[in-house]
């Protein structure tokens, strides 16, 4: 405090005021941020005008302090939000999810459950439509997920196309009901680029063991269960059990080896000849994939196809097979070892059908070969019936090229007769399970006859798979089945053996030239 007012001209009044008015900050707490209240003591000798100016200066200082405080609080809140939430969906991020999971385990309000949700084949969607469309889909999926749960349940985006859920005090029956509800809700069709498309999710479920599980262990178990759901077919949920650990590790190791196999081209092709059943003439061959595994020897697709499809490597593998087979058959045609109408069949996985470059790649392979487009037969499985909205445009584009379409393993999958006149199918391949006892089982014979009659009405070619006896061949020929393949006619042959077979088969009943 000043005992007397300072002297000086009025021009120096601001400085004079600062000397006369003693501003003392008193700290206090507002919204957890320390600031200060400013107390003013007026010295003697100041007139009212100077006191007013001083008060205004104090008010200005206080106002600036308040603005700074509010801005600091907003910045702090924004930083906290950014550090704990996913910027795309607004859900909790992985860090906050772990914090909530830790807290739930410490509260011990019954069992704590983690759902690990992964969108199946999301990379395909990003590759087809771009990341902006993919981001929009993730936002919509996050809303659907949130709507499946209660307000106090923790929902997070863990990264990429992965989501996590924490449930507290919910019994196992309710947990599995919730997981099933999430599978259904996220699998409902949505409009993507003006088309209705369906996605699917795989969910891993892990329930805490009271007093022993940590957040890290529970997350790991849910992740393992999610991979088990993918390994066993996707579009489903799986509850963690200890044996999953070894099976999932084996699956991930197989995927790693597949990646190496693609890089090193460890694959080969064998050709299963296809015959006209009436004339016994060779009319084509199916290109079958083999993996020359460095440790396990030659593997058929049954040993690795599921892992190849789910990991996405099947797209690269089938692209390699198509190029190799077209080049090989083109060489046979150039050497006049097969007829100009010789048909090459290649298997096309659902994931390859969804690949945006598949049709163009097929067109290039045909253009590079002496083959004509109608000589290529693309064999699809009945799984395309699950989502015709995705597969139908690709199949139609193939047909526009001139490629023919075969429905493989007919009668064993999802097919419905109502689809046959909607899909651009040219050939029905009757599965081996129906052929096995067609020569002595009247019921099986009646089923095969019905399929052949239906195909004839729809102007489709029929091919019998897995013919192993002459009596089967005779029965099929009598039913009107047009073509067949199997060990009784000829075993699959590698390229060298197939060339030898063609060179030695000079009689017209075996090879049409």
pLDDT in tens, 299-353: 999 999 989 988 889 999 999 999 999 999 999 999 999 999 999 999 999 889 9
Beta strands 267-276; 201-207: pairing state? unpaired
- What's the average model confidence in pLDDT over 158-168? 94
With 50 as the cut, is the pLDDT of residue 24 above it? no
pLDDT (mean) for 3-13: 44
**DSSP code per residue over 352-389:** HHT-TTHHHHHHHHHHTSS--GGGEEEEE-GGGGGGHH
Element (H, E) at 270: strand 267-276
Q: What is the DSSP string of 195-247?
A: EEE---EEEEEEE--TTT--HHHHHHHHHHHHHHHHHTTSSSEEE--TTHHHH
pLDDT tens sequence across 396-448: 999 999 999 999 888 665 555 667 777 889 999 999 999 999 999 999 999 99
If one compares 127 and 453, the residue with the highest pLDDT of the two is 453
pLDDT at 395 over 50: yes
CA distances from 65 to 21, 33, 36, 61, 323 (A): 18, 12, 8, 6, 72
Per-residue pLDDT of 183-201, as tens digits, reads 999 999 999 888 888 899 9
pLDDT digits (tens, 9 = 90+) for 349-363: 988 998 889 999 999
Closest C-alpha among 104, 103, 86 to residue 94: 86
What does the mean pLDDT of the chain come to? 84
- Cβ–Cβ < 8 Å for 53, 64: no
Position 212 pLDDT exceeds 90? no
Spatial separation of the C-alpha atoms in residues 267 and 257, rounded to whole Å: 12
**Would you call 473 helix, strand, or coil by DSSP?**
helix
Instruction: Summarize the confidence of residues 22-36 as an average pLDDT.
Output: 45
Q: Is the pLDDT of residue 121 over 90?
A: no
Other CB atoms closer than 10 Å to residue 139's CB: what's the count?
Answer: 14
CA distance 23 to 55: 11
The reported pLDDT for the residue numbered 324 is 97
Cβ count near 479 (within 10 Å)? 19
pLDDT at 80 over 90: no
Rounded Cα gap, residues 268 and 270, in angstroms: 7
Residue 37, pLDDT > 60, answer no
Query: What percent of the chain clears pLDDT 70, i.e. is strictly above it?
Result: 79
Instruction: Using the Cα atoms of residue 463, residue 464, residue 469 and residue 471 in order, give the sign of their dihedral.
Output: negative
pTM of the complete model = 0.71
Confidence of residue 244 (pLDDT cuts 50, 70, 90): confident
Q: What pLDDT, on the 0 to 100 scale, is given for residue 303?
A: 94
């Amino acid at each position: 405090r000043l005992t007397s007012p300072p002297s000086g001209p009025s021009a120096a009044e601001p400085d004079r005021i600062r000397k006369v008015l003693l501003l003392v900050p008193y700290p206090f707490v507002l919204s957890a941020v320390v600031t200060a209240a400013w107390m003013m003591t007026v010295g003697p000798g100041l007139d009212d005008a100077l006191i007013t100016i001083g008060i205004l200066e104090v008010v200005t200082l206080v106002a600036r302090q308040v603005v700074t405080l509010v801005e600091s609080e907003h910045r702090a809140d924004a930083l906290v939000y950014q550090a704990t939430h996913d910027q795309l969906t607004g859900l909790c991020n992985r860090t906050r999810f772990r914090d909530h999971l830790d807290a739930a385990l410490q509260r011990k309000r019954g069992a704590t459950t983690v759902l690990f949700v992964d969108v199946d084949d999301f990379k395909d969607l990003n590759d087809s439509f771009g990341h902006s469309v993919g981001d929009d889909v993730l936002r919509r999926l996050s809303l659907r997920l949130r709507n499946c749960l209660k307000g106090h349940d923790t929902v997070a985006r863990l990264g990429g196309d992965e989501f996590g859920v924490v449930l507290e005090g919910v019994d196992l029956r309710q947990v599995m009901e919730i997981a099933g509800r999430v599978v259904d809700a996220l699998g409902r069709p949505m409009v993507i680029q003006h088309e209705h498309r369906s996605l699917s999710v795989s969910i891993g479920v892990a329930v805490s063991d009271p007093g022993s599980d940590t957040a890290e262990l529970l997350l790991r178990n849910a992740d393992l269960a999610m991979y088990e759901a993918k390994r066993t077919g996707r579009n489903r949920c799986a509850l963690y059990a200890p044996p999953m650990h070894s099976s999932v590790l084996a699956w991930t190791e197989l995927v790693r080896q597949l990646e190496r196999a693609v890089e090193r081209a460890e694959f080969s092709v064998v050709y299963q000849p296809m015959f006209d059943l009436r004339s016994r003439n060779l009319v084509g061959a199916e290109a079958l994939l083999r993996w020359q595994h460095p440790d396990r020897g030659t593997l058929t697709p049954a040993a690795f196809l599921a892992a190849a499809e789910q990991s996405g490597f099947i797209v690269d593998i089938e692209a390699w097979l198509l190029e190799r087979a077209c080049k090989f058959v083109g060489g046979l045609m150039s050497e006049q070892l097969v007829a100009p109408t010789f048909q090459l069949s290649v298997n096309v996985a659902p994931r390859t059908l969804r690949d945006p470059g598949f049709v163009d790649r097929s067109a290039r392979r045909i253009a590079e070969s002496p083959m004509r487009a109608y000589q290529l037969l693309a064999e699809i499985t009945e799984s395309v019936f699950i989502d015709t909205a995705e597969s139908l445009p690709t199949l139609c584009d193939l047909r526009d090229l001139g490629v023919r379409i075969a429905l493989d393993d007919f009668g064993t999958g999802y097919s419905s007769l109502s689809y046959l006149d909607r899909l651009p199918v040219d050939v029905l391949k009757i599965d081996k399970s129906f052929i096995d006892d067609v020569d002595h089982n009247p019921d099986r014979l009646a089923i095969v006859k019905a399929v052949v009659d239906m195909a004839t009405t729809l102007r489709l070619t029929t091919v019998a798979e897995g013919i192993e006896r002459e009596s089967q061949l005779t029965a099929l020929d009598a039913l009107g089945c047009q073509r067949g393949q199997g060990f009784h006619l000829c075993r699959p042959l590698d390229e060298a053996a197939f060339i030898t077979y063609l060179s030695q088969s000079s009689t017209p009943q075996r090879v049409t030239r």
